[in-house]
Amino acid sequence: MTDLTKLTLAQARDGLARKEFTALELTDAHLRAIEAANGALNAYVLVTPDHARAQAKESDKRLAAGKGGALEGLPLGNKDLFCTKGIRTTACSKILDDFKPPYESTVGQNLWDAGAVMLGKLNNDEFAMGSSNETSAFGNVVSPWRRKGKDGKLSADKLVPGGSSGGSSAAVAADLCLAATATDTGGSIRQPAALTGTVGIKPTYGRCSRWGIVAFASSLDQAGPLAKTVRDAAIMLKVMASHDPKDTTSVDAPVPDYEAALTKGLKGLKVGVPKEYRVEGMSKEIETLWDDGIAWLKAAGATIHDISLPHTKYALPAYYIVAPAEASSNLARYDGMRYGLRVPGKDLIDTYENTRAAGFGKEVRRRILIGTYVLSAGYYDAYYLKAQKVRTLIKRDFDEAFKTVDVVFTPTTPSPAFALGEKTGDPLAMYLEDIFTVTVNMAGLPGMSVPAGLSSQGTPLGLQLIGKPFDEETLFRTAQAIEDAAGRFTVPEKWWTKG
């Protein structure tokens, strides 16, 4: 039999429908792949083989009865930010300890109701705060991709898989699941997608329910999929998205059939290219890739238009006020009283302080302190309110642009994947990873990263599409055109399976 883990989500779905293999065989193949790889990659923080096999057996029964759902029998990875009923959920923080939620996230429930199988929980930056998966309490995720040296051989340097959804991106790229859940607050789906040759979409704020997802910055957080292909991402988002009465910011709007949008073509599509994204320090390769992308879209029938998004450069500093402020408020709940870690002290306050000092990692503590500072008495107007006003201006830039274009086209990251430890010493250098993605969260728009080429060192590069609110369909059909032109980029060698 062929290696079932190499299939795309769509191929596996079609193979199950044709009874070429069973859901249990598909799940077992992935569990074996995880066992062989996880020691080297650390993509999963918890593997749930018994749970997965039980779900797969149920799927086989439903498939046999002709009652399969949209994702019946398809094994997925679930970011550890999504609460899983009775299964440890930690947000990759020590402070949640051995927390076993008594409920399931709405996005997760949507997936399991559609028949999907959960293989386990995926690593991420602690509370999704990071761009390299180096802040996780469970240790770093290693990218399945390696740089090619001048001699053409793969270097043994360990690269980051991006973050915060680094376990998701690594697992999808290494064929350790057919697709994965992820979340994106400032770029945490799109940046890891770009760095691992996978497809990632952050839908419009409100498209997916945030219920049961560990909160980081509530006005920015959105769930979305990481997948092997544009089609797979479309299949996933269709199921993940829903209106949920349990999340008042979730939007009561029909979820279109994204897969149907893939074949619509680009004739007459107006694509905007913002001049502000040609930033200083952007790698030459990325610039060339962007130009290639523009040429592909033209060839597919789109027209290209120069646009201006003048407040782009203020998105990142505004984000680093809004996100920590909301995080400091959201993370106040971890007090060691009701769940998670408790480190006793001499009195109540001392217990709080001990617990939070021991439970939160360095980056999380740093962001809580910044958030506390900008929200403290006398500073609210100067920082948080100012940043929220700047957000209005960023959103207005996009509103203006969307009067003349249908979609905005940019690179996803300013540079290719970097090595572990390369940026950990300088928080600002790490924050710059999100320079192209963060504007989209600030404006609440949908954004998608599509693999588009390889760097001179043989590592993946991605391009980003930004759409009008709730117009994910245009992103999917444009992304399909890029994928058609660029092809797919898979890991050249599964080095971790060799002794």
Closest distance to another protein from the beta carbon of 258 (Å) = 19
Shorter beta-carbon distance to another protein: residue 69 or 256 = 256
> Which residues are 390's β-sheet partners?
none
Shorter beta-carbon distance to another protein: residue 99 or 496 = 99
Closest distance to another protein from the beta carbon of 338 (Å) = 5
Active-site option among 79, 228, 238, 423: 79
Rounded Cα gap, residues 348 and 318, in angstroms: 35
Contact 447, 224 (CB under 8 A): no
Rounded Cα gap, residues 398 and 456, in angstroms: 33
Residue 191 half-sphere exposure, CB side, CA atoms within 13 Å? 36
Shorter beta-carbon distance to another protein: residue 253 or 295 = 253
Closest distance to another protein from the beta carbon of 279 (Å) = 14
The CB density around residue 304, as the number of other CB atoms within 10 Å, is 16
Shorter beta-carbon distance to another protein: residue 15 or 427 = 427
- Of 56, 70, 94, 93, the C-alpha closest to 9 is 70
Sheet arrangement for strand 270-274: 44-47, 117-122, 75-79, 179-184, 222-227, 199-202, 447-454, 460-467, 407-411, 270-274, 303-307
Q: Which amino acid is at 361?
A: G
Shorter beta-carbon distance to another protein: residue 392 or 456 = 392
Active-site option among 93, 132, 165, 188: 188
Rounded Cα gap, residues 348 and 37, in angstroms: 44
Rounded Cα gap, residues 279 and 276, in angstroms: 7
E strand segments, 39-87: 44-47, 75-79
Closest distance to another protein from the beta carbon of 387 (Å) = 7
* Phi, psi of 196, deg, nearest 5: -125, 5
Residue 164 appears among annotated catalytic residues: yes
Active-site option among 59, 131, 132, 164: 164
Burial class (CB in 10 A: 0-12, 13-18, 19+), 219: middle
Give the contacts of 473 (CB within 8 A, at least 6 positions apart): 256, 258, 261, 264
Residue 188 appears among annotated catalytic residues: yes
By DSSP bridging, strand 460-467 and strand 447-454 are: antiparallel
Q: In this structure, what token pair is assigned to residue 273?
A: 């290219």
Shorter beta-carbon distance to another protein: residue 102 or 268 = 102
Give the binding site for another protein (CB under 8 A): 99-100, 102, 204-206, 245, 248-249, 251, 311, 313-314, 317-318, 320-321, 328, 332, 335-342, 344-345, 347-354, 356-357, 360, 365-366, 368-370, 372-373, 376, 383, 385-393, 395, 427-428, 443-445, 469-470
Residue 79 appears among annotated catalytic residues: yes
Closest distance to another protein from the beta carbon of 427 (Å) = 6
Shorter beta-carbon distance to another protein: residue 308 or 392 = 392
Closest distance to another protein from the beta carbon of 287 (Å) = 24
Closest distance to another protein from the beta carbon of 473 (Å) = 16
**Which residues are annotated as catalytic?**
79, 164, 188
